[in-house]
């Protein structure tokens, strides 16, 4: 019964892990196992349907808003509401921004999508949040990497927060339209209320945001002398697109993957988000391959992160699980190095990883295959060979050591105070 309760709690409401503590005397005892077909907990009954009056008030506000914005969070994926979010966006034409954990809810080329918001979000996305008059949060938690300086977050906007976890609503920001419930159910009700929505009155707002996107797109300065990590991510996307599922660890490579990979569907991007878990990428890729044998699984990682759970290579080899880890090797703990460069006057401490293992010999010692890439021309062939090998594989790409993730909102800064270019010293 307790195991049934644990899975019920884990998979309902705000989904997440549940700890079941099983004493040793129980694990060492033989007995009959009977698993209940269903379970009811009197003390745990998540709200599924949203309050109709609040939904109606929000939709009335949306109809009147001149600068509305949909802020899409990871809850849109957890609630399997991706298609519903797309339908709402397409039916209304309201511009959208995504959090890191919502990448793929809208396709990368969706005309309504302004990109990712937050500390390393796109210029247009962050400016849209800063200048909107109605911000509708769909299953997100207003974490600090998204909001920047709270006092300036969506300063001139009314805020709606839709979430299945009542404790999240109003926790970080004050909201004008609190709606507790399952996002998928609430979106169905919203689309009924917005069936006659006409987007003509927000045409000027949309045109303005598209102008911002054209003026300051996500970009980087390419080089003939070195491989830029953004180029690697773009090349993987060009070659594999929606045929791949991308996992990452944590750091610069994680942000470059979120910024530059052409995501097309929910759960195409698996990353640990705010948990900051270096070492997440390889076991996540392992699980993704077991779940989706029809997809190529690419773990985009760094030379620091890949070492955190390196023993999982044994699992991949033992169970013949073919996946590819693309190691963007800059011989640094890159994101920490970037912060020390930007905000600590290049006083580098414990970030140099020059004394690292030979990754090709390392993967071969486990029983996999490895490729080292030091020029652009070699990368496409290496990826093709790694996928064809049908084994766990490393592609170690020697990238520009000093490349930074931009834009960047500094700690304590507001979203509109983005660093767009690194200052030359």
91 in the same domain as 122: yes
Residue 407 lies in a domain: no
Residue 421 located in a structural domain: no
Question: Does position 379 have pLDDT exceeding 90, yes or no?
Answer: yes
Instruction: Name the residue among 325, 411, 418 with its Cα closest to residue 116.
Output: 418
Q: Which of 187, 215, 243 is the last residue of a domain?
A: 215
Report the CATH number at residue 313.
3.40.50.970
Flag whether pLDDT at 221 surpasses 90: yes
Does residue 356 carry a pLDDT above 90? yes
The answer to whether residues 19 and 68 belong to one domain is no
**CATH number for the domain harbouring residue 182:** 3.40.50.1220
422 contacts: CB under 8 Å, gap ≥ 6: 342, 404, 406
Specify the pLDDT at position 188: 97
pLDDT, one tens digit per residue, over 159-201 is: 999 999 999 999 999 999 999 999 999 999 999 999 999 999 9
Are 285 and 306 a contacting pair, CB within 8 Å? no
110: pLDDT strictly greater than 90: yes
Average pLDDT over residues 135-147: 96
Residue 419 lies in a domain: no
Q: How far apart are CA 339 and CA 355, in angstroms?
A: 21
Would you list the DSSP string of 278-311? Answer: TT-HHHHHHHHHHH-TTSEEEEEEETTGGGGGTT
Span 6-21, average pLDDT? 94
Residue 425 has pLDDT above 70, yes or no: no
Query: Would residue 274 count as lying in a domain?
Result: yes
By the 10 Å C-beta count (0-12 exposed, 13-18 middle, 19+ buried), 225 is classed as exposed
Structure tokens at 270: 């698996």
State whether 160 and 83 are in the same domain: yes
Q: How confident is the model at residue 275 (pLDDT cuts 50, 70, 90)?
A: confident
Residue 187: DSSP 8-state = H
Q: Which residues of 160-178 are buried (b: 16+ CB within 10 A; e: fewer)?
A: bbbbbbeebbeebeebebb
Number of domains in the chain: 3
Residue 304: band (very low, low, confident or very high) from pLDDT cuts 50, 70, 90? very high
Span 301-311, average pLDDT = 97
User: Is the backbone of residue 276 left (phi > 0), alpha (psi -120 to 50) or beta?
Assistant: left
Residues 191, 338 within the same domain: no
How far is 96 from 212, CA to CA, in rounded Å? 14
- 114 plus 183 within the same structural domain: yes
Q: Note whether residue 221 is domain-resident.
A: no
Q: Model pTM?
A: 0.95
CA 282, 284, 290, 293 dihedral sign is negative
Among 215, 244, 279, the domain boundary falls at 215
In the numeric block, which tokens belong to residue 371? 């490729």
Answer yes or no: do 39 and 166 share one domain.
no
> Cα 353–403–118 angle (5° rounding)?
105
**With 80 as the cut, is the pLDDT of residue 82 above it?**
yes
Q: Is residue 24 a part of any domain in this protein?
A: yes
> pLDDT by residue (tens digit) across 69-78?
999 999 999 9
Range of the domain at 69: 52-215
Give the end of a domain, one of 45, 63, 78.
45
Asked whether residue 276 carries a pLDDT value surpassing 90, the answer given is no
Helices and strands, number each (H, E), in the chain? 16, 12
Rg value, the chain, Cα: 23
pLDDT-based confidence at 85, cuts 50/70/90?
very high
Instruction: Identify the band that residue 422 occupies on the pLDDT scale cut at 50, 70 and 90.
Output: confident
Residue 41 φ then ψ, to 5°: -115, 115
- Asked if residue 247 lies in contact with residue 271, where contact means CB atoms within 8 angstroms, the answer is yes
3-state class (DSSP) for residue 298: strand
Asked whether residue 27 falls in the same domain as residue 59, the answer is no
- What is the model's pLDDT at position 227? 98
Q: Tell me the pLDDT tens digit for each residue of 17-31.
A: 999 999 999 999 998
Q: Do residues 280 and 389 both lie within one domain?
A: yes
- Supply the DSSP symbol for 140: -
Look up residue 159 and give its two tokens: 């805020």
Please give the average per-residue pLDDT across 249-274, as a whole number. Answer: 97
Asked if the structure places residue 330 within a domain, the reply is yes
Q: Is residue 223 part of a domain?
A: no
Say yes or no to pLDDT of 413 above 60.
Answer: yes
Query: What 8-state DSSP symbol labels residue 119?
Result: T
pLDDT attached to residue 274: 80
Per-residue pLDDT reduced to its tens digit, 318-329: 999 999 999 999
pLDDT of amino acid 251? 96
Residues 60, 40 within the same domain:
no
Is 98's pLDDT higher than 90? yes
Instruction: Examine the domain organization and report whether 93 and 9 are in the same domain.
Output: no
Element (H, E) at 158: strand 158-163
Q: Which tokens belong to 158?
A: 């009314």
Q: Within this chain, do residues 239 and 326 fall inside the same structural domain, yes or no?
A: yes
70 close to 88: Cβ distance less than 8 angstroms: yes
Side-chain half-sphere exposure of 50, counting CA atoms within 13 A:
30
Q: Closest Cα to residue 141, out of 91, 101, 187, 191?
A: 101
Same domain for 3 and 112, yes or no, is no
Q: What is the pLDDT of residue 361?
A: 98
The pLDDT value given to residue 424: 58
First to last CA, the chain: 64
| Measured distance CA(31)–CA(419) in Å, rounded | 62
What is the structure's pLDDT at 423? 66
């Amino acid at each position: 019964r307790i195991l049934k309760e644990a899975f019920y709690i884990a998979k309902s409401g705000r989904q997440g892990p549940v700890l079941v503590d099983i004493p040793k005397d129980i694990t060492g005892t033989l007995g009959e196992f009977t698993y209940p077909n269903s379970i009811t907990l009197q003390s745990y009954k998540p709200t599924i349907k949203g309050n109709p009056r609040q939904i109606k008030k929000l939709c009335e506000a949306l109809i009147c808003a001149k600068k509305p914005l949909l802020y899409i969070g990871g809850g849109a994926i957890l609630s399997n509401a991706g298609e519903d979010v797309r339908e709402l966006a397409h039916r209304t034409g309201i511009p959208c921004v995504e959090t890191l954990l919502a990448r793929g809810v809208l396709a990368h080329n969706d005309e309504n999508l302004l990109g990712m918001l937050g500390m390393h979000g796109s210029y247009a996305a962050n400016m849209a949040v800063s200048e909107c008059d109605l911000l509708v949060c769909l299953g997100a938690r207003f974490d600090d990497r998204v909001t920047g300086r709270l006092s300036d977050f969506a300063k001139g906007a009314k805020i709606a927060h839709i979430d299945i976890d009542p404790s999240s609503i109003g926790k970080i920001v004050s909201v004008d339209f609190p709606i507790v419930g399952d996002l998928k159910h609430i979106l169905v009700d919203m689309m009924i209320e917005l069936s006659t929505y006409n987007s003509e009155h927000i045409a000027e707002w949309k045109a303005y945001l598209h102008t911002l996107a054209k003026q300051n797109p996500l970009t980087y300065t390419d080089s003939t002398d070195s491989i830029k990590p953004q180029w690697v991510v773009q090349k993987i996307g060009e070659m594999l697109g929606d045929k791949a599922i991308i996992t990452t660890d944590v750091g610069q490579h994680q942000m470059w993957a979120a910024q530059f990979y052409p995501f097309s569907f929910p759960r195409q991007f698996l990353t640990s988000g705010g948990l900051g878990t270096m070492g997440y990428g390889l076991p996540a890729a392992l699980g993704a391959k077991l779940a989706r044998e029809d997809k190529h699984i690419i773990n985009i990682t760094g030379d620091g992160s890949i070492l955190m759970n390196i023993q999982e290579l044994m699992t991949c080899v033992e169970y013949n699980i073919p996946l590819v880890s693309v190691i963007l090797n800059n011989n640094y703990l890159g994101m920490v190095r970037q912060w020390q460069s930007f905000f600590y006057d290049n006083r580098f401490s414990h970030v140099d990883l020059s004394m690292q293992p030979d990754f090709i010999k390392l993967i071969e010692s486990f029983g996999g295959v490895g490729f080292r890439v030091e020029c652009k021309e070699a990368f496409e062939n290496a990826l093709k060979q790694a996928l064809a090998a049908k084994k766990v594989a490393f592609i170690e790409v020697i990238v520009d050591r000093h490349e930074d993730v931009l834009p960047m909102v500094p700690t304590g800064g507001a979203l509109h105070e983005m660093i767009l270019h690194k200052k030359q010293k």
